[in-house]
Structure 1
């Protein structure tokens, strides 16, 4: 199974390298065999057909699996992405349709998308689009669904499916309702298990809910700990957090054996995000909250804090400490995650082979 990395670009460059093709060099050096270009327009700001074709040829020559992201689908936050509107000569819809058609032309048929974005520097809970005060989350989901109605003909014509990330503002149940409404030929899931706790969802049950609908992934681990804000979630390389990867991979690969695995790395910060199960407003934001899943997250936080007190895990101050070299940290995060994921996949294959014999 080829394992790829999700790579975020800005103006054609990323923290890994200064151009999309140079990123392939960096990923190949780390041992990856695929790339999820987080957003096509950030990697190729003018969507130059020659540049994209050259990248596609180079990736194919290396045997790389390629997928791409095409922007976000919540109309209440798309004003924060003016570049997509520019690509459509003033129409955000046309900009998205352009990118979808390009993906279809190159056979990149499992596209990434999301319904919001974390707002650095804003206080909890307003850093999450779910808690906007200009529109309720229900209104945002309705608007998202109407926008998907407009995108659906282009997606079907291009043979491209949008995969909504299990992001910090949306729950697995809400994503699945969108998939049921629009069809699994139009929508699927991009599983980022590390985001699940932010919405009060425990790893095992939440992965079980979306496994059969998951087409691509943003794999990374998560630490859950108590903080003065409630519960805090931090990111960690695969195998260095609270996720039971044998269970996750067993559930995911049994339900979706053709899922395409991509690891998402971070550098410079462990990306703390807060959930507060004691806050009635936080609870009211999701009528589907399951107390048993909240209790599991509290148990994970208790376990982490006990290990931190013994010196067996990083404490809150260490988790919050900024990194010194984001590029080096990103490479280390990706490399450690890839090694851990490969080991777990090999062990799983060995167990299956032994059982079959």
Structure 2
């Protein structure tokens, strides 16, 4: 049976839990979740106080809640944006990461979240993505990320902890797989956020199938893609209200890892519109693994959503830009997603029992 948890950090930096990680457990449980992902463990426990963490681990066990941790980012060109991790290492970002790896190992939290970039909310597309930085090439960032991961790998192996790189807005599944091949799948895997795949020009089903053997964590939510004045735009949606075929996704992922704990990621103050430009030569040049079938598939999907929006069966671009489908406490999106994911899991279980 697959347990379902929640990432307690939202897109705009807000939190489901406030400042108290102990309260987090109760809030998440009351919402119907069976676990939590503390993606910013250095915020929850700024000094990694062993007594507080021990008490937290005991409380999670008492409430029968699973715990996953996030250990910061691994792209050296943007880790300066995470000074708390460097502080934990007394001036060494690597040292801060190693302290958190030790923490994971101590409590058996052996699958940890990470990412290769951060979305810059204050910058216009495409410069909001690390991929399009003008001060350093994306390949140089990938090379530096690989070097950093190689430095961290011995301690990961020693402690039996694996980092799982998110299918984040800046990186493709092809690039993730190349990193895993270089570093080793015993210490590097994938945290699957299927809603981000279209942002990097990938068709969801194809991309999920590629990475499924390496998916050890998830950030689950849905996505809508529509034609806009500048190309195609991806918008976040609750599970079951977007383009993703959840039956196929679960077949791919759970076929490889039947007992995987699944985590839903929430939404912040917007639908997180992100621009996709498969017809722009400069944009396409930044996606060398993308082929015409990907471009045609995304364009066709956006056209279908546009037709559905004209018929009133799907939201319009204006509606998606206006406001997110969440209440003031940001839980509506999570509750809708949780119901839909449970239904998809139940349907899969029923199908497997059919003669």
Aligned to 1:343: 343
Matched, 1:257 2:294: no
**TM-score with structure 2 setting the length:** 0.96
Secondary structure of the structure 1 residue equivalent to 2:269: coil
Select between 198-207 and 256-265 the one with higher mean Cα deviation.
Answer: 256-265
* Distance in 2, Cα, partners of 1:80 & 1:344: 38
Query: How far is 1:325 from its partner?
Result: 6.8
1:276–1:282 CA contact under 8 A, matched in 2: yes
Aligned to 1:275: 276
- Within 5 A, what are the aligned runs for 1:89-108? 89-108=90-109
- Within 5 A, what are the aligned runs for 1:150-299? 150-299=151-300
Aligned to 1:334: 334
Deviations 1:88-113 (A, max 9, x none): 11111101111111011111000000
* Distance in 2, Cα, partners of 1:325 & 1:172: 30
Secondary structure of the structure 1 residue equivalent to 2:331: helix
* Uncovered stretches (5+) of structure 2, i.e. residues with no partner: none
Query: How far is 1:278 from its partner?
Result: 1.4
1:191–1:216 CA contact under 8 A, matched in 2: yes
Query: Cα–Cα, structure 1 residues 323 and 174, in superposed 2: closer, same or farther, change >3 Å?
Result: closer
Select between 253-262 and 169-178 the one with higher mean Cα deviation.
Answer: 253-262
Query: How far is 1:178 from its partner?
Result: 0.6
Query: Cα–Cα, structure 1 residues 132 and 247, in superposed 2: closer, same or farther, change >3 Å?
Result: same
Query: Cα–Cα, structure 1 residues 323 and 351, in superposed 2: closer, same or farther, change >3 Å?
Result: closer
Secondary structure of the structure 2 residue equivalent to 1:164: strand
Deviations 1:5-55 (A, max 9, x none): 111289x98234441111111111111101111121122122111121111
**TM-score with structure 1 setting the length:** 0.96
* Distance in 2, Cα, partners of 1:326 & 1:171: 32
* Distance in 2, Cα, partners of 1:60 & 1:294: 47
Query: Cα–Cα, structure 1 residues 17 and 297, in superposed 2: closer, same or farther, change >3 Å?
Result: same
1:5–1:36 CA contact under 8 A, matched in 2: yes
1:126–1:132 CA contact under 8 A, matched in 2: yes
CA RMSD across the alignment: 1.7
* Uncovered stretches (5+) of structure 1, i.e. residues with no partner: none
* Distance in 2, Cα, partners of 1:131 & 1:276: 13
Matched, 1:305 2:301: no
Query: Cα–Cα, structure 1 residues 304 and 258, in superposed 2: closer, same or farther, change >3 Å?
Result: same
Query: Cα–Cα, structure 1 residues 314 and 333, in superposed 2: closer, same or farther, change >3 Å?
Result: same
Secondary structure of the structure 2 residue equivalent to 1:21: helix
Query: Cα–Cα, structure 1 residues 264 and 325, in superposed 2: closer, same or farther, change >3 Å?
Result: closer
* Distance in 2, Cα, partners of 1:325 & 1:203: 25
Query: Cα–Cα, structure 1 residues 348 and 323, in superposed 2: closer, same or farther, change >3 Å?
Result: closer
* Distance in 2, Cα, partners of 1:34 & 1:110: 13
Query: How far is 1:191 from its partner?
Result: 0.4
* Distance in 2, Cα, partners of 1:256 & 1:246: 15
Which 4+ stretches in 1 moved above 2 angstroms?
Answer: 12-18, 322-328
* Distance in 1, Cα, partners of 2:53 & 2:222: 32
Query: How far is 1:323 from its partner?
Result: 4.8
Select between 75-84 and 250-259 the one with higher mean Cα deviation.
Answer: 250-259
* Distance in 2, Cα, partners of 1:124 & 1:306: 26
